[in-house]
Chain A
Amino acid sequence: DQQVKQNSPSLSVQEGRISILNCDYTNSMFDYFLWYKKYPAEGPTFLISISSIKDKNEDGRFTVFLNKSAKHLSLHIVPSQPGDSAVYFCAARKGGGADGLTFGKGTHLIIQP
């Protein structure tokens, strides 16, 4: 039962353009959502998060949008840079942080020059 879904295994975007990574979830108990960036053989690096009481959070080139009614969130990266090439994981949390995160399967973002 995949509670957090990232339906695009990979995404290719031209440098300078906007990258949009999507994530859907099924559990309405999730109250906090996070995006992580991961390189092979390394642990995930936290990028940005959003609480369920908000619909948008912005940090530099990264913006996360949350649509609670659709149980959908997205990560926008603009402008995309070559160093953004990595696997991006969407994660969700419930219980105020006492529980571990539930991860999607990840989307491999490839930024082309």
Chain B
Amino acid sequence: GAVVSQHPSRVICKSGTSVKIECRSLDFQATTMFWYRQFPKKSLMLMATSNEGSKATYEQGVEKDKFLINHASLTLSTLTVTSAHPEDSSFYICSASSGLSSPLHFGNGTRLTVT
């Protein structure tokens, strides 16, 4: 079945530094990938839609200059948290679909801790 790989699974960084999270679709091509964020005991919130070959579409309230998304190929999207602050600490999850009529499959998530 379709598999989405996300790396790293955990990262701890100092305030002010940048962190890059990778999301790969392993056995299918994904023209669109989605990035979600989950706060403790909360639902998954869609942050942005990553489109291969074009700019990402951000949800209201998400700072595009802080959360840089690059969809470099049909199998790779990256999320870079720039100038991270403690409030950016969260669980970030990417997802992709192999087709419009197919369900979204999720990566295993990245636990980001900013100290």
Are B44 and A89 within 8 A (Cβ)?
A: yes
Partner of B108, one of A43, A102, A105: A43
B67 in contact (CB, < 8 A): no
B93 in contact (CB, < 8 A): yes
- Tally B residues with Cβ within 8 Å of A: 27
Are B101 and A97 within 8 A (Cβ)?
A: yes
Residues of B contacting A49 with CB < 8 Å? 103
Are B104 and A99 within 8 A (Cβ)?
A: no
Q: Given contacts A43-B6, A102-B46, is CB(A34)–CB(B103) below 8 Å?
A: yes
A101 to B36, CA, bound (A): 10
CB within 8 Å of B: which A44-101 residues: 44-46, 49, 89, 91, 96-101
27 contacts between A and B (CB under 8 A): A34-B103, A34-B104, A41-B109, A41-B111, A42-B109, A43-B106, A43-B108, A45-B106, A46-B103, A46-B106, A49-B103, A89-B44, A91-B104, A97-B97, A97-B100, A97-B101, A97-B102, A98-B100, A99-B49, A100-B36, A100-B104, A101-B44, A101-B46, A102-B46, A103-B45, A104-B43, A105-B43
